A and B are shown apart, each in its own frame.
Chain A
Amino acid sequence: MGREPAAGVSTAMQEHWEHYEHGADIGVRGIGATMAGAFEQAALALTAVITDPVGVAVHDAIDIACEAPDAELLLAQWLNALVYEMAVRRMLFGRYRVEIDGTRLRAQAFGEPTSVERHRPAVEVKGATYTSLRVAPTADGGWMAQTVVDV
């Protein structure tokens, strides 16, 4: 139970995403009250590599399920599932809902078809790598999930 955030910490925690530097590419990092929250934020960071997530309408929902032997591979698997869905459906996602049960992840991604005019997508993500791949509790009782994506 030691890693379960106290309610106060949870509400005080600012869920957010950020990018970090990696030579030729970009690191995506999500911070959340839970591991699932951190995965949602990391996915927003992924969208932000391509376009501003705020500008993506969230009227279509798609279901995603994946599993992996550990939390870190699960993060890579999750981000790669999104890379795949974005490529095949030619969609962008602006909101995510993630549930994690052990080594399994079920999620919904909300978005719309890519519009070059409106979204002005900067770059296509080829895949999530295992470089600096990390899923870990944070000092304030939340979770952090990060990896570098290849663009």
Chain B
Amino acid sequence: MNLDELVRRGPCEWEVPMRGDMRVPAIVYGSEALVAEMDDKVLEQASNVAKLPGIVRASYAMPDAHWGYGFPIGGVAAFDPERGGVVSAGGVGFDISCGVRCLLTGLRAEDILAVQRPLAEALFARIPAGVGSTGAIRLDVARMEAMLVGGARWAVDQGWGTPADLERIEERGQMPHAKPDKVSALAKKRQRDEMGTLGSGNHYLEVQRVAEVFDESIAGAFGLRVDDAVVMIHCGSRGLGHQIGTEFLREMAIAAKGFGIALPDRELACAPIRSDLGEAYLGAMRSAINCALANRQILTHLVREVFAGLLPAARMPLLYDVSHNTCKLETHRIDGHERALFVHRKGATRALGPGHPELPESLRLAGQPVLIGGSMGTGSYVLAGTARSESLAFSSACHGAGRAMSRHQAVACWRGRQVVDDLAARGIMVRSPSSRGIAEEAPGAYKDVSEVVDATDAAGLARKVAKLVPLVCVKG
């Protein structure tokens, strides 16, 4: 990206001044090196988002931003329903509520290493992963409706997890105002066999070791010490979310003209929040959020069962569960006034600062855990929300490393077997049904997540707490 087009507002803050039809400026967060490396398309897409009706304050791009669909991946934008604001299916994306959760284990890394191979095999055998895999749970119409309304709370009611888990999930595990009647029969059918499945692509389940702690006090509040073992799960709303995204993208793209919305890019398909279509999408999208929360909850239950069999000493409370691709109704202070805004985060994590009323009591002093997934080789991070993040980007932070090269380039560079062997030599045990899938997800195909996390910390979006490195990885 050409830095000459940007005005530097701080060490890690860059502004694209308003021009053309932009209603607000675009703000890109990142170090000079990260922003210089970003694709020009990020600038173009962040500027396009700034043209949408009802956008408030600015269109933001996080330090891991890259070329997405309509919105950049790593994009954040808030819209005011009272000022013609829109909701965008493209601004949420296909994998609605794709996200990450982290489970503590009460175990040390050495406990994992003692059973590393059988644990990897048992997790791989128990967690349905990859193309065409199905879960053990079949939902009839009534249970499907209950799941879409109840989210993780529904899953806990079914016996998959404990009520304590719900405290540690955004919206207490249940997205309100879901409307399963706005979810098509096709989307429900596509989900029928997919509850409790990991999916493929960049989705994974890892057992990790806390390699480094940067903030002892917050890490203590999160229950993280160096050499502790944790479990990280990355997946989303599976076929149901993909189908809802597909259907509403089309409907909004066709309807935009009728709403008098000029789309700078068809992928920015959107509808006024206060319209039948906008409300239908919100009802369906919220159902998909519940589907993702229920899915991660079921996977959590499966993981706990595997651990109970091999490591009976394990105690596995949920540290936290974050979603990356969402649109949520939130209250933010704009020019001294509280306003209810619909905040889109596309490949961005909500990061509530200390004292936020939505945080459970046990996390209120420390701030929200912000879970950042990296690649198989480079590791992941736990950050904490800051008070400043609210004024910087509606309390948002980065979500992951982002790719450094395409899947094609990755396959040309590596073979799956070789990646598995290289990682094994470094003490990381990888299991996956797809060798090509592993090559496409090779560690070298991703940017170094450390740089992204450092920039996120330096920008004040979230505070660095701990670094995690994988011991076992199940790839979809």
Residues of A within 8 A of B (CB): 19, 21-26, 50, 68-69, 73, 76-77, 80, 83-84, 87-88, 90, 114, 116, 120-124, 126-131, 133, 148, 150-151
Contact = CB atoms under 8 A, between A and B. Distances in A.
Contact of A150 (B94, B250, B436): B94
A108 to B, nearest CB: 20
Contacts of A88: 189-190, 192, 239
Interface stretch (B78-86, B146-154, B270-278, B402-410): B402-410
22 contacts: A23-B39, A24-B66, A24-B73, A26-B408, A68-B250, A73-B250, A73-B253, A80-B246, A84-B190, A90-B132, A116-B133, A116-B433, A122-B434, A122-B436, A122-B437, A123-B201, A124-B131, A126-B242, A130-B265, A131-B69, A150-B93, A150-B242
Contacts of B190: 84, 87-88
A124 B95 CA distance: 12
A80 B267 CA distance: 15
B266 interface: yes
A23 B131 contact: no
Contacts of B403: 23-24
Contacts of B41: 23
Closest 5 CB pairs of A and B: A121-B131, A122-B436, A114-B132, A126-B242, A23-B67
Contacts of A114: 131-132
Contact of B249 (A83, A120, A130): A130
B254 A124 contact: no
Contacts of B69: 129-131, 148, 150
A87 B134 CA distance: 10
B243 interface: yes
A8 B308 CA distance: 69
B212 to A, nearest CB: 27
A151 B407 contact: yes
Given A24-B402, A26-B406, A123 B186 contact: no
Contacts of B406: 21-26
B376 interface: no
Size class of the contact patch on chain B: 35 or more
A126 B407 contact: no
Interface in B22-47: 39, 41
A134 to B, nearest CB: 11
B440 interface: yes
Given A23-B403, A24-B402, A151-B407, A124 B436 contact: no
Contacts of B380: none
Given A127-B249, A130-B269, 8 more contacts: A87-B242, A88-B189, A90-B134, A124-B200, A126-B94, A127-B242, A130-B90, A150-B242
B435 interface: yes
B199 interface: yes
A83 to B, nearest CB: 8
Contacts of A77: 250
B266 A130 contact: yes
A65 to B, nearest CB: 14
B325 to A, nearest CB: 11
Nearest to A72: B266
B130 interface: yes
A88 B249 CA distance: 20
B245 interface: yes
Nearest to A113: B132
B70 interface: yes
B131 A123 contact: yes
B406 to A, nearest CB: 5
A127 B245 contact: yes
Contacts of A127: 94, 242-243, 245-246, 249
A133 B68 CA distance: 13
A120 to B, nearest CB: 6
Nearest to B436: A122
B186 A84 contact: yes
* Residue with the highest number of chain A CB atoms closer than 10 Å, among B186, B265, B402, B406: B406
A27 B242 CA distance: 18
A114 B90 CA distance: 30
Nearest to A90: B132
A122 B246 CA distance: 21
Interface in B444-470: none
* Residue with the highest number of chain B CB atoms closer than 10 Å, among A22, A68, A69: A22
